[in-house]
Amino acid sequence: MSLELNIHTDIRRASTPSSELYTSPSVFEAMKDRIFAASWQFAALERDLKAPGQTWPFTLLPGFLDEPLLFTRDYDDQLHCLSNVCTHRGNLVCEQGGIEKQLRCRYHGRRFDLRGRMLGMPEFEGVVDFPSESDHLPQVAFERWGGMLFVSLKPSFSFAEAFAPMQQRLHWLDVGSFRFSPEHSKDYLIQANWALYCENYLEGFHIPYVHASLNAVLDYGNYTTETYRYSNLQLGYAKDGELSFQLPASSPDYGKRIGAYYYWIFPNLMFNFYPWGLSVNVVKPITVSQTRVTFLTFVADEQLFESGTVAMIDRVEREDEAVVENVQRGVRSRLYRKGRYSPRREQGTHHFHLLLAEFLSSKNEV
């Protein structure tokens, strides 16, 4: 990878990354280990691992990281996240989820307990220094929050460093009690680089120009952005007469008409809190110019949710898709190189680019 991002820390002096960030296959490849394997990724819903003995094989970011992993709940009722690759010859250990007493690789019969410890291996009599620690399934770092499970293959920052600002600000919300709504959760396929989608999310600058329906309910003049180390927040103030949170006195925003909290966690997780509940967006790179965005819907107030919410979210998403796909076509132009930032409206995008520069720097070679 030859691209070096030099983003000035002073947004007033900074220029955006060059178009190579969104078009270079080598940069896209470098992002796999330097950014995505090193960060926290949404993996599963804890509701899918209710019972002792439960196994849940999955692939982390299919087609991109393509990492075979496995959640288990052992008979002491403890969750584990493991590599799903047999330590003998690399076959997948668990091919279908279910209730199991132990794990058995069907290639040569190596057995593991639900904590990933190797139990036995046929025809290995006489093998020197066997078994060793390397014969057990590698453990994968995972955390849980709000009924969701997150994993990191080689975390370069802790889960708390990324999630604590959101958890502390919204301590009064019982996210774990929200109802997951599969019928209102869906995927969108976007013909654009994943970073362009994130950039668009991270600024409210485009709202008056792209989202007429959203602009009608949010007070754009008071729209603000707050940045943290590995996350940022966009505060959407509701116009008079529009739906807003009933905030408790313990909230730092008590007395304000907050219509939405838009949290982004580096690099690709978005948590959109509304008075009716939560929409989680997981941005999944596929190719250098194609991205899948998974929307997960969690309902806190059924009555509020039924008041046109789904149609509004879908419309805003389709409007975002159209403009981001146009930008992808534009950054491929031979006549475009880079741009500048609005100090008032693009703090979140600038923050994102600083993190990209940090993680893609040569010191993070893998």
Domain 171-364 - what CATH class? Answer: alpha beta
User: What's the pLDDT at 310?
Assistant: 65
pLDDT-derived band of residue 306, with 50, 70 and 90 as boundaries?
confident
User: What's the pLDDT at 74?
Assistant: 97
User: What's the pLDDT at 211?
Assistant: 72
Q: What is the pLDDT of residues 269-294, one digit of tens each?
A: 999 999 999 999 999 999 999 999 99
Peptide bond into 343 cis (omega under 30): no
Joined together, the tokens standing for residue 326 give 């146009």
Yes or no: say if 239 and 217 are a contact pair by the CB < 8 Å rule. Answer: yes
Least confident of 29-43, 119-133, 316-330: 316-330
Which SS3 state, helix, strand or coil, does residue 72 take?
strand
Which SS3 state, helix, strand or coil, does residue 326 take?
helix
Question: Phi/psi at 347 (nearest 5 deg)?
Answer: -65, -40
Domain 41-145 - what CATH class? Answer: mainly beta
pLDDT-derived band of residue 223, with 50, 70 and 90 as boundaries?
confident
Amino acid at 69: L
Joined together, the tokens standing for residue 35 give 């950014």
Per residue in 26-39, is it b (16+ CB within 10 Å) or e — as a string? Answer: ebbebbbbbbbbbb
Q: Which residue has the higher pLDDT, 23 or 310?
A: 23
Yes or no: say if 167 and 146 are a contact pair by the CB < 8 Å rule. Answer: no
**pLDDT at 119 exceeding the cut of 60:** yes
User: What's the pLDDT at 362?
Assistant: 57
User: What's the pLDDT at 1?
Assistant: 55
**pLDDT at 148 exceeding the cut of 60:** yes
Amino acid at 77: D
pLDDT-derived band of residue 363, with 50, 70 and 90 as boundaries?
low
Average pLDDT, the chain: 93
pLDDT-derived band of residue 2, with 50, 70 and 90 as boundaries?
low
Query: What DSSP designation does 228 have?
Result: -
Q: What is the pLDDT of residues 22-44, one digit of tens each?
A: 999 999 999 999 999 999 999 99
Which SS3 state, helix, strand or coil, does residue 145 take?
strand
Give pTM, 2 decimals.
Answer: 0.94
User: What's the pLDDT at 335?
Assistant: 92
Mean pLDDT for 14-18 is 95
User: What's the pLDDT at 59?
Assistant: 98
pLDDT-derived band of residue 181, with 50, 70 and 90 as boundaries?
very high
DSSP string computed for 235-271: EEEBPTTS------TTSTTTTS-EEEEEEEETTTEEE
Mean pLDDT for 88-94 is 97
Percent of the chain's residues with pLDDT above 70: 96
Mean pLDDT for 159-164 is 98
Measure Cα distances from 324 to 170, 181, 189, 196 in Å: 30, 27, 12, 6
Domain boundaries, the chain: 41-145, 171-364
pLDDT-derived band of residue 168, with 50, 70 and 90 as boundaries?
very high
Per residue in 115-135, is it b (16+ CB within 10 Å) or e — as a string? Answer: bbebeebeeeeeeeeebeeeb
Q: Please list, in sequence order, all residues whose beta carbon lies within 8 angstroms of the beta carbon of residue 270, skipping any fewer than 6 positions away.
A: 201, 262, 263, 264, 280, 281, 282, 283
d(CA 262, CA 233): 6
Of 20, 56, 14, 62, residue with least CA distance to 41: 62
Mean pLDDT for 197-204 is 90
